[in-house]
Amino acid sequence: MYINDLLAAFKRQEIDAKYFSLVKDEWKRFQEGKQISNHIVPQEIIDSWLRSKSYAVDPNDQGYHLLDSYREMNVDNLHDVIPNYDFFFQTISQMFDFTQYVFSFVSADGITKIVSNQTGNTLPTSLAFLSENIVGTTGSSITLHLNQPTIMLQPFYYRQFYMQKMFGNLHGVQAPIHDNKNQVIGVLGLGYYDLEKTVHAYNIISLISNVFDALYLPVITGHEKQIQEILSCLPQGVVLLNERNTVQFYNEKIVKLLGIKKKQNVERELNKYFPKMGVGLDYPHQCDVIQDGINARKFKLIQLKATETIKEGPSGRVRGDQLFTFDRIIGESEAIKKAKDTAMNVAETSVPVLLYGESGTGKEMFAQAIHSAGSRRSGPFIAINCGALPGELVESELFGYEEGSFTGALKGGKVGKLEAASRGTLFLDEIESMPLKDQIKLLRVLSTGRVQKIGSNKEIEIDVRLISATKTDLLKQADEGAFREDLFYRISTFIVKLPPLRARQRDIILLAEEFVRRLQDKYHRHPIAMDATFTNALLGYHWRGNVRELEHAMERAVIILRNGSKLLPEHLSETICEEYKKNIINEVLDEVIEHTPKEQGMLAEAENMLIERVLKAVNGNISAAAEMLGITRRTIYKRMNKSEADVMYLTE
């Protein structure tokens, strides 16, 4: 953002008459349709000039654009917009130590109110529609567009003659204010003549807007305890950012994950990480917290999970703990055998391996097994899910950093995962999510065997075996410019394709039986059997989430079974049951169409066969069959009697 550059230039005393002359030269080039330099004029100002031009705003127009209905606008009108108006403006006016200034409020639709005029010039009480499409680039228009505090130097205005006529050589600083839904309701502006006080003015207006938001958006107190209790129960690290992107709630897990010590000011340390993450990011998780049943406030939810499956060994080195081995990978299908054979062949080497498969196919399990079977088994196994980390953190996690290399850096710096995994294995899951700039750095590390921490000019020699995993076609991504093709060839000396569960039909029941055994121990249940109808339902399902979805389905079934001893289709989710029912119907229809002569009643035959097939599927339970078919028990009896079927095995 250009504000940081301007503030730095002020501190270097580079904003002076010479700079203003350069800006005016660029303005002339702009009017002539020539390209202008964003090294002189901030890009945000250039963008606003271009928008103003597209609105056909005349830069030479000197009109005020007053509307009669607003000419007599008085202070009382602002009470509807700003709570505690009198106290608020009386308090903040005492903060100004300028001899000449003008303080204004611009609503979100561009209507301007001069709150205090200490310039000595006669100014209209209120102006109408000082929006960008009417008067071009102004401080308030830039602020409304960026939703951030801004600095508007006199040469930046689009209608400079207009601003000169109204205010003279006035510079301005502006900051947005928000309502309780974090929507911008207007802009507070401070105009002044003393250029040397720009930094001071910017700090004042930023402080004022923060004070306003603090008053308008009161801190939630009624539900703080309940929220904190909920967060403390979550297994992952969680932090809630309020509308101003500052930490409002957090749990102990995130404190441990970030390595914050108890003697430190926890909130201050957390705020070093997360406010900068709150800007420009797309948050898939947002939540409303309601206070006193009325005002809902939005919070951004950030979750952090441990990025490694590691433990401190006796020597102090980071080592794998309880990692998977090939004998623990269950399956007898040809597809899984082929994948295991390929992985075992490459395990003894140190060449890079790329695991390719859908979500839930066991990519990390294979990565652990390759590590456990190789010559590096005594070294560390470190896993990072690139998709679970915000883009800003990937670089520091992978390469590490020196103390003081950036705001929020831990004291003493941090060892990167590449260095920590030396003489062992680094597993990069969802590598397709790695930012391109980090792909370039990783490629260099893999080429040279050396890593350089952020903020350091020294290279550290490392010896790492890399295993990557993806669920997407990386070459296709490379064609689209989303993944580096040279990195793909570097990480894919061996590609192990993991089959989806639907291609492993004979493994579904084996896996289900294994999950039942584990769940019996977990929930302290007596031995549990699977009914034939239950296994048929498992075999007939598509399993889009693969082994992970099957595991969750089995846990759900065991929980619903309670103290029972046999799993039935009714213990599965509605989605699986519906697909099971659909499969039965399709089988019956195929059989009827194939074997029933045309002169016979095909529909009646299909009804009878379907009822009989469903009854057998539910072991003759009429109530269960009726519910599955959506008919009454009486209808079942009636149909079975007409077909002269054996009803002796039926139960209620």
Q: Give phi and psi for 259, each to the nearest 5.
A: 70, 30
Stretch among 385-399, 479-493, 525-539, 625-639 having the lowest mean pLDDT: 625-639
- Among 366, 355, 356, smallest CA distance to 330 is for 366
Indicate if the pLDDT at residue 150 is higher than 50. Answer: yes
**Residue range 452-465, pLDDT digits in tens:** 999 898 999 999 99
pLDDT interval class at 314 (50, 70, 90)? very low
pLDDT interval class at 185 (50, 70, 90)? confident
**Residue range 395-410, pLDDT digits in tens:** 989 999 988 877 767 7
Instruction: CATH 3.40.50.300 in the chain: give the residue spans.
Output: 311-497
H helices present in 374-494, as ranges: 391-399, 417-420, 436-448, 474-479, 485-491
**Size of the chain, expressed as the number of residues it contains:** 652
Judged on CB neighbours under 10 Å (0-12, 13-18, 19+), 543 is buried
In this structure, what is the dihedral angle of CA atoms 436, 438, 443, 448, given to the nearest 10 degrees? 160
The CATH number fitting domain 311-497, selected from 3.40.50.200, 3.30.1360.200, 3.40.50.300, 3.40.50.720: 3.40.50.300
- Which stretches of 198-294 are assigned E, i.e. beta strand? 237-241, 247-250, 286-291
pLDDT interval class at 310 (50, 70, 90)? very low
Ramachandran assignment for 259, one of left (phi > 0), alpha (psi -120 to 50 degrees), beta (any other): left
Indicate yes or no: pTM above 0.75: no
CA dist 515 and 632 (Å) reads 36
Instruction: CATH 3.30.450.40 in the chain: give the residue spans.
Output: 2-216
Most confident of 120-124, 125-129, 217-221, 248-252: 248-252
Q: With contact defined as beta carbons under 8 Å apart, do 263 and 198 qualify?
A: no
Stretch among 9-13, 69-73, 506-510 having the lowest mean pLDDT: 69-73
CA dist 231 and 227 (Å) reads 6
Judged on CB neighbours under 10 Å (0-12, 13-18, 19+), 526 is exposed
Q: Across the chain, which distance is largest between two alpha carbons, in Å?
A: 106
Mean pLDDT score across all residues of the chain: 78
pLDDT value of residue 286: 45
**Residue range 67-84, pLDDT digits in tens:** 444 334 433 445 555 555
CA dist 33 and 577 (Å) reads 67
Distances (CA, A) of 498 to 366, 382, 429: 9, 21, 14
Most confident of 26-40, 484-498, 611-625: 484-498
Select the more confidently predicted residue: 55 or 179. 55
CATH topology for the 2-216 domain: Beta-Lactamase (3.30.450)
pLDDT interval class at 293 (50, 70, 90)? very low
Indicate if the pLDDT at residue 133 is higher than 90. Answer: no
Indicate if the pLDDT at residue 298 is higher than 80. Answer: no
Over residues 451-480, the mean pLDDT reads: 94
Select the more confidently predicted residue: 54 or 236. 54
Tell me how crowded residue 434 is: count the other CB atoms within 10 A of its CB. 24
CA dist 250 and 233 (Å) reads 11
* H or E stretch covering 382: strand 381-385
Indicate if the pLDDT at residue 635 is higher than 60. Answer: yes
- The answer to whether domain 506-642 has CATH 1.10.8.60 is yes
**Residue range 554-593, pLDDT digits in tens:** 999 999 998 888 999 889 988 898 888 777 766 655 555 4
Q: Give phi and psi for 619, each to the nearest 5.
A: 60, 40
Select the more confidently predicted residue: 598 or 138. 138
Instruction: CATH 1.10.8.60 in the chain: give the residue spans.
Output: 506-642
Give the list of residues 6+ apart from residue 185 with CB closer than 8 angstroms, or none.
81, 107, 108, 177, 178, 179
